[in-house]
Structure 1
Amino acid sequence: MKKFSCTALWAVVVVAVLLCEAPLTAKAVTCNPTELSPCISAITSSAPPSSACCGKLKEQKPCLCGYIKNPNLKQYVNSPGAKKVARACGVTIPSCT
């Protein structure tokens, strides 16, 4: 009986350690450039980006390479206004190859 208890305890410890070290599942992002619409005024004027803009920009960051590779969106993502907004929001625009 004691051998079973030690084995069971060891198994519980191993499982607990594995669960603690398992990476957290990231929330999937739906890449949709219209999600960045709160940033339009900041991109096209000297207005600072809103918190909604920065939040959406951070949320859409995994999508930026896809937007840059899209010929219809590239000019907007690489525009000086978009780069200014990204800097103000603390988001690095990736160099995508």
Structure 2
Amino acid sequence: MVKVMWVSVLALAAAILLLTVAKIPVAEGVTCSPMQLASCAAAMTSSSPPSEACCAKLREQQSCLCGYMRNPLLRQYVSSPNARKVSNSCKIASPKC
């Protein structure tokens, strides 16, 4: 169980690092960068509650979430049940993409 969680965390970290170079600009002036959500990794891969830093970054990157969902490397993380749990805990509506 612990090994599976670490593999998930490492896979998320690898995906974030790979996609850091593929920043997606958004109309509101936010630069979409999955690396900005690194503070949410623990909450998205375990039963840990999200930190306030995670919620703040999630709010900041909210307009980017559909782009992340369309990315095959990130989709499994941002559309997972834990990601929905984090969004709900942070009081952020799940995007309709």
- Tell me the TM-score normalised to structure 1 length: 0.69
Partners in 1 of 2:90 and 2:30 — Cα distance? 19
Is the Cα–Cα contact under 8 Å of residues 68 and 75 in structure 2 kept in the other structure?
A: yes
Identify, as 1 or 2, the structure richer in strand.
Answer: 2
Q: 87-96 vs 49-58, which deviates more?
A: 87-96
| Matched residue count | 71
- Residue number in structure 1 paired with 2:36: 35
- Tell me the TM-score normalised to structure 2 length: 0.69
Partners in 2 of 1:47 and 1:91 — Cα distance? 17
Q: Percent identity?
A: 56
Query: Does 2:57 match 1:56?
Result: yes
Partners in 2 of 1:70 and 1:45 — Cα distance? 22
Partners in 2 of 1:36 and 1:61 — Cα distance? 11
* Segments ≥4 residues shifted beyond 4 Å: none
Give matches, 1:73-92, under 5 Å: 73-92=74-93
Q: Any unmatched runs of 5+ in structure 1?
A: 1-25
Q: Any unmatched runs of 5+ in structure 2?
A: 1-26
Partners in 2 of 1:70 and 1:47 — Cα distance? 25
Give the AA of the match of 1:46.
S
Rg larger in structure: 1
Partners in 2 of 1:77 and 1:69 — Cα distance? 10
Give the AA of the match of 2:90.
C
- Residue number in structure 1 paired with 2:45: 44
Identify, as 1 or 2, the structure richer in helix.
Answer: 1
Q: CA RMSD in A?
A: 1.4
In the TM superposition, residue 27 of structure 1 has moved relative to its aligned partner by 5.7
